[in-house]
Amino acid sequence: MTDVTFILHDGTRRIVDVADGISVMQAAVMENIKGIDGECGGCLSCATCHVYVESLEAGELPAKDPDEDALLEGVAAELRPESRLACQIVMSPALVGLVVRVPERQV
């Protein structure tokens, strides 16, 4: 289990303890984090799990799949260098202190 901090659109922070092997998108949906949708269930076809990665204390995020890059081109909110699709970030104890910001909108 590893903590992930979500910064919601209104600025509130929510910390969720996520089991290993679960993606940040799955954790957000299960915990009702408003603003992360994950319509396709993590199949890299909806781009409704867009987040901004604010910080990470240790470990490395998985590299971006070309399909993720392609899909990020079409996200509804502003695309930034720290944009990721949350369904592609699978949690493990190696990822310490992950903080993600929920974008203004997904569609």
Question: Between 89 and 102, whose beta carbon lies closer to another protein?
Answer: 89
> Is there binding between residue 61 and another protein (CB under 8 A)?
no
Q: How far apart are CA 35 and CA 76, in angstroms?
A: 12
Alpha-carbon span 16 to 79, nearest angstrom: 25
Least Å distance, CB 56 to another protein, is 25
- The percent of the chain in helix, strand and coil, each rounded to the nearest 5, is 15, 25, 55
**Cβ-based burial of 66 (10 A; exposed 0-12, middle 13-18, buried ≥19):** exposed
- How far apart are CB 76 and ligand FES at their closest, in Å? 12
CB of 3 to ligand FES, least distance (A): 21
Pick the piece of the chain touching another protein (CB under 8 A) from 7-15, 35-43, 54-62, 72-80: 35-43
Give me the residues that bind ligand FES (CB under 6 A), please: 25, 38-40, 42, 44-49, 71, 85, 87
